[in-house]
Amino acid sequence: MGAPFTYKGGLLFCEGVPLEEIALKFGTPCYVYSYSQLVSNYHVYNEAFSSIPHVIAYAVKANSNGAILRALAKEGSGADVVSRGELKRALAAGIPADRIVFAGVGKRTDEIMEGIKQDILFFNVESMEELETLDRVAGDCGTQVAMAIRVNPDVEADTHPHISTGRAVDKFGMHPAGAMQAYRYAAGSSYLNPVGIHMHIGSQITRIAPFKAALTILLSIVQSLAKEGVDLQYVDIGGGLGISYEKESTPVPSDLAEALLPLLESWQGSVIVEPGRSIVGNAGVLLAEVLYRKPGGVRPFFVVDAGMNDLIRPALYNAWHRVVPVIGLGREKGTVDIVGPICESADVLAHRRRLPDMKQGEYLAVMDVGAYGFSMASNYNSRPRPAEVMGREDEAFLVRKRESLADLRSQERIPTFLI
């Protein structure tokens, strides 16, 4: 399909709906998602791995909106979850339990019990003590539980340190020798069924080589286990494939499959792939209104009503996002910084951008924010989280209403001694 967000007659559209119309109807800040782009991205993955039994297990952490999960469920997607809340969301959206894998370095006992109760595909276990806990809880439930070990292959993914998860210094997974010990423990348990092996080496990875290096290590463990009589059914290669934020060259799912499938030629089981950002990232924008223009010591500021509470990636990762006007191409441009209303110097959505001299009340769109946008939003400065809207063809649907100030206080309680 073509780009989901395009200019027509000087107006920026989401599919067939003008973004100005969405901003006026639903207010700002507001996240807007393209249904068609979301579904297209899923099918690109599904087709890339079609030559081998597989499950595309969408990484719910990227964006857990129920409409997004439901759209993917209707296309046949599975889910990669890392909390009880994400598991409940995935199930409520219609994703079958037998297409859900449960990862996460710090699973609580109640989360483990919920996964067992729902009979998910398997748990991705990240430490020996977690494995022992899973064994105990499964025994208490009187059932055998399918599991995999998440292996930390000590591979440098060449991404931001905060989202690199496959190095020896990272908290995730078990080193290969420890993983072998864990599999031996599981094989000797009456309540653990070792069915798979897992890796996830990071996020926003723009080279294929780290995936190949990590998978090679996993497959050597698979071969060693087979010699000990432990035959696995699933290889979970995780997610992490990057997208283009600033016209950088990035691999696509077919590149990943082309590189990894030859390594799996002799594999008789199924592959799990856990994309998140590359499914939903380019399917979303954040709409913001220009509140004020003010001169700065170096260059002017556009002060907008969306801040780091709505989109934390620029402040947290120094992430770069395109910012474009919702109305009007061809106007003379100047260089500005785009800042939000939050009382932090880090509350800068974009530095040194060439934009028209926009007026108060005009709208901007921050691009490629479908992943790790709303899902990482907060109520800092007691600001309600924004609305979420999904565009499909020439219609726009509210898929999460804007929080109210009453919502922010709804869970608070004043103790009696203060009354």
Cβ-Cβ contacts under 8 Å for 177 (sequence gap 6 or more): none
Cβ distance 62 to 371 under 8 Å?
A: yes
In 64-191, DSSP assigns E strands to 78-81, 100-102, 122-125, 145-150
Cβ-Cβ contacts under 8 Å for 169 (sequence gap 6 or more): none
Based on the residue annotation, tell me whether 14 is a catalytic residue of this protein.
Answer: no
At residue 259, the 3 state secondary structure works out as helix
Cβ distance 355 to 323 under 8 Å?
A: yes
Q: Which helix (H) or strand (E) holds 188?
A: none
Q: Identify the CA nearest to 241 among candidates 270, 218, 273.
A: 273
Q: How far apart are CA 78 and CA 384, in angstroms?
A: 31
User: What Å distances lie between residue 61 and 100, 108, 142, 189, CA to CA?
Assistant: 13, 17, 31, 31
Task: Tell me the CB-side half-sphere exposure of residue 21, using CA atoms within 13 A.
Answer: 14
Q: Which of 14, 30, 141, 343 is catalytic?
A: 343
Q: How far apart are CA 100 and CA 120, in angstroms?
A: 6
- State how far Cα 254 lies from the chain centre: 20
Q: How far apart are CA 402 and CA 397, in angstroms?
A: 13
**Paired tokens of 207:** 């080279």
Q: How far apart are CA 302 and CA 314, in angstroms?
A: 16
> Annotated active-site positions, please?
343
